[in-house]
Amino acid sequence: MQNFEQFLLDNLPISESIHPSYEKALQNMLKAGGKRFRPALLLGVVKAYNPLMLDSARYAAYAIELLHTYSLIHDDLPAMDDSPLRRGNPTLHVVFDEVTAILVGDALNTYSFEVLSKAPFSDATRVKLIRELASNGGLNGMVLGQAIDCYFENQPLGIEDIKILHTNKTAKLIAASLKMGAIIVGREEVGDKLYDFGIKLGLLFQIQDDILDVTQSSQEAGKLTNNDEEKNSFVTILGLERATNEANALVTELLEEMSNFDESLSCELSPLLSKYINRHK
């Protein structure tokens, strides 16, 4: 991941213009760090099956991080979560202004596909990767989840609808990261199984975030916590104890599925997943 971080810094979006702060704003939240969880998943799958493709795969990993970062910038806007803190730093609309944050989010969204279009893969592979990222990050993926989340504020949903919300908002991009890694190395049958695994992993990730929102301080989390009272979070609807039980059940399922990974995949993904899989405890 150190190599990925350097790749990211070497390929930050550049836009020289008369605008005094646009380029700085484009780079601000990318340089702020983050878990880089989604890129790590993609690169882990590639390393498991064809480490010689890691240099090329960093383009796809970066594209996912660009799309994810845009979603965080927009999620923090006053019209959505109105959060002043992200990745331990003031959010973009606080550092600059709301218009700049909106436009930077738009730019990083489209730049993610520009980066993918330049990746050193065959045309067929590039199209598959672009389709995977677009379908999971776009109108019937992450954006749909955000739309449901915002529309149903202060309107409690049933648990199955909450799972649909967060499958779209969070899980699909995590699942796509795993599947895109498999596409790169030509293991699409593995990719389909990893996608299903990734949906469960993404739901666990969201439940954990909801638990940490009420058990961590903003300083510990690096973002505003105790900010989900009006949202359909797992903790808001189920309560902390039931949400924790839901997370523990998913952990059991995921550990069982991980035990069936082939040796090379297990060797690469298990250390990463073990780091995160029990972070709610």
Do residues 237 and 156 make contact, with C-beta atoms less than 8 angstroms apart? yes
Look up residue 198 and give its two tokens: 């990734």
Nearest to 60 by CA among 200, 173, 188, 204: 173
Please state, rounded to an integer, the average pLDDT across all residues of the chain: 95
81 within some domain: yes
217 within some domain: yes
Q: Taking each helix axis from N to C terminus, what angle separates 98-117 and 22-31, rounded to the nearest 10 degrees? A: 70
244 within some domain: yes
281 within some domain: no
Do residues 64 and 173 make contact, with C-beta atoms less than 8 angstroms apart? yes
Q: Is the pLDDT score of 267 beyond 90?
A: yes
92 within some domain: yes
Look up residue 263 and give its two tokens: 């040796």
Look up residue 39 and give its two tokens: 């890129």
Give the position of tokens 């593995």. 190
Do residues 41 and 176 make contact, with C-beta atoms less than 8 angstroms apart? no
What is the rounded distance in angstroms from the CA atom of residue 10 to the CA atom of residue 187? Answer: 29
**In which element (H, E) is residue 86 found?**
strand 85-86
The gap from C-alpha 24 to its chain's centroid, in whole angstroms, comes to 23
50 within some domain: yes
Number of CB atoms found within 10 A of residue 252's CB = 10
Strand partners, 152: none
pLDDT given at position 280? 86
pLDDT given at position 22? 97
Tally the C-alpha atoms within 13 A of residue 280's C-alpha that lie toward its C-beta: 26
- For 78-126, the pLDDT digits (tens) are 999 999 999 989 999 999 999 999 999 999 999 999 999 999 999 999 9
91 within some domain: yes
Do residues 45 and 182 make contact, with C-beta atoms less than 8 angstroms apart? yes
Q: Is the pLDDT score of 216 beyond 90?
A: no
pLDDT given at position 229? 74
pLDDT given at position 226? 75
Do residues 128 and 183 make contact, with C-beta atoms less than 8 angstroms apart? yes
Q: Is the pLDDT score of 220 beyond 80?
A: no
pTM: 0.95
- The whole domain housing 229 covers 2-275
pLDDT given at position 223? 78
pLDDT given at position 130? 98
Q: Of the ranges 55-59, 149-153, 207-211, 212-216, which one carries the lowest mean pLDDT score?
A: 212-216
pLDDT given at position 86? 93
What is the rounded distance in angstroms from the CA atom of residue 197 to the CA atom of residue 218? Answer: 30
280 within some domain: no
The gap from C-alpha 249 to its chain's centroid, in whole angstroms, comes to 22
- For 163-200, the pLDDT digits (tens) are 999 999 999 999 999 999 999 999 999 999 999 999 99
CATH number of the domain that residue 240 is part of: 1.10.600.10
Domain count, the chain: 1
Q: Of the ranges 131-140, 220-229, 232-241, 265-274, which one carries the lowest mean pLDDT score?
A: 220-229
